[in-house]
Amino acid sequence: MTSALGALRPLLNPLNMAAYVTWFAVLVVLISTPENRFLFGNRELPLACLVIFLGAFVGKQLISPGRPHWSDYPLLAVEALATLALCVVWPRDMAPVLAIVFIADCAMVLSSAALIATGIVFNAALWYLVMTFWNFSRFWQVLLAYVGFQIFAALTAWYAKRAECAAKELQETNAHLLATRSLLEESARDGERLRLARELHDVAGHKLTALKLNLAALERGGESAAPESVKVASQLATELLDDIRGVVAQIRQHDGLDLRQALSQLIAPLPSPRIHLDLRDDARVDSVAQAEALLRVVQEALTNIVRHAGAVNAWISLRRDGDVVRLSIRDDGRGVVPLREGFGLSGMRERLALVGGTLGISQSDAGGVALEITAPHSG
């Protein structure tokens, strides 16, 4: 149920709701228009144009919500053809209202130059069809008003798209900063554990060793047996020294950087795909540089999945295998191996090479791409 609602959420954003209201207004006027006002005296043809337009519009939102996809262009073409066909079979000034929705939809996908070119070609075609099929001598005045509405709708959609992209970039940047801060905090805690271990070993351990040697000398120095209190003190010093050594050993067992919090903060702002984390407790690295390299590899991989893969799910696994840390990233998107390696993948390889790591690429069992990263536990 939750996944179904998530899939339908892109259909309900404010700009789409405005488009639905506009489409419904055209439908109401069309239904109330007498049949003799339609070309061929047939209402079914304009109704079919309206339904086809809505189907293309909704299909585009479902297939590629918030990201470019090759299907956007044929669906936009269907919207344009349905609008022009409606203007032919329904020669009334309400028909071109759909052109406003079409141009606004183009603004969410096309570049500025492509949008301007599309608007010019579309309105030229609209002008030709109206002059050919309509009995309306002063339509150029109405068309000029529609062009103004189209420009307003296109600018509104374009600025909305820019604001959405800026918000996403800010969200990603904030997640990267939080992940880096978490990594630095973990590094600081690890350094403090190491400092305490050395302090206990060098200072307290040294003094207790000296105490034990002095007590042992005192125990051997007298003609008679050493007092019972000296024996007890010697025994306590021995036990305390063993306890401190045990604490030092325990602290050193937990040396290393834990990437759990940094990775969790990195993926937190991503609404899609759904990311499944499997982070083992023993998957720690000794080097800040190595931890940062692994973190940046995950960041770049997720960026590629979001922008290009069209995946619903992604899986990230981090585990320890002997003296090697293994990081696995896979998705169920549409990526096909071998991939065309650009700056992203080459950057991953360079980062990993600096810390002794490797990167392997294969086809995922889920249908997408799987990245297998290995790095020595001690960077």
**Taking 50 as the threshold, does the pLDDT of residue 5 lie above it?**
no
What is the rounded radius of gyration, in angstroms, for the C-alpha atoms of the chain? 34
Cβ atoms of 273 and 331 closer than 8 Å? yes
Here the tokens at position 344 are: 């992203």
> Which of 148, 159, 146 has its CA nearest to residue 112?
159
DSSP 59-95: HHHHHSTTS--TTHHHHHHHHHHHHHHHHHHS-STTT
DSSP 355: T
Q: 257-280: per-residue pLDDT in tens? A: 667 777 777 777 777 788 888 888
Confidence (pLDDT) at 339: 74
What integer pLDDT is reported at residue 334 of this predicted model? 80
Residue 314: left if φ>0, alpha if ψ -120 to 50, beta else—which one? Answer: beta
pLDDT at 369 over 70: yes
Q: Residue 169 in contact with residue 117, Cβ under 8 Å? A: no
**What strands, in cross-sheet order, belong to the sheet with 369-376?**
274-279, 313-321, 324-331, 369-376, 358-363
pLDDT at residue 314 tops 80: yes
C-alpha–C-alpha distance, residues 273 and 366, integer Å: 14
Residue 253 has pLDDT above 60, yes or no: no
For 137-151, write each residue's pLDDT tens digit. Answer: 666 777 788 888 889
Q: What angle do CA 123, 128, 131 make, to 5 degrees?
A: 120
- Model confidence over 186-238: pLDDT tens digits? 666 666 666 666 666 666 666 666 667 766 766 666 555 556 656 666 666 67
> What is the second-level CATH architecture of the domain 257-376?
2-Layer Sandwich (3.30)
Pair 81, 118: CB distance under 8 Å = no
pLDDT number for residue 91: 80
User: pLDDT for 161-190, tens place per residue?
Assistant: 888 777 777 777 777 776 777 666 666 666
pLDDT at residue 4 above 50? no
Res 1 pLDDT > 60: no
Q: Average pLDDT of 326-348?
A: 80
pTM, two decimal places? 0.54
Lowest mean pLDDT among 18-32, 182-196, 241-255: 241-255
**Maximum average pLDDT range among 242-246, 290-294, 311-315:** 311-315
Q: What is the pLDDT of residue 207?
A: 64
Amino acid found at 173: T
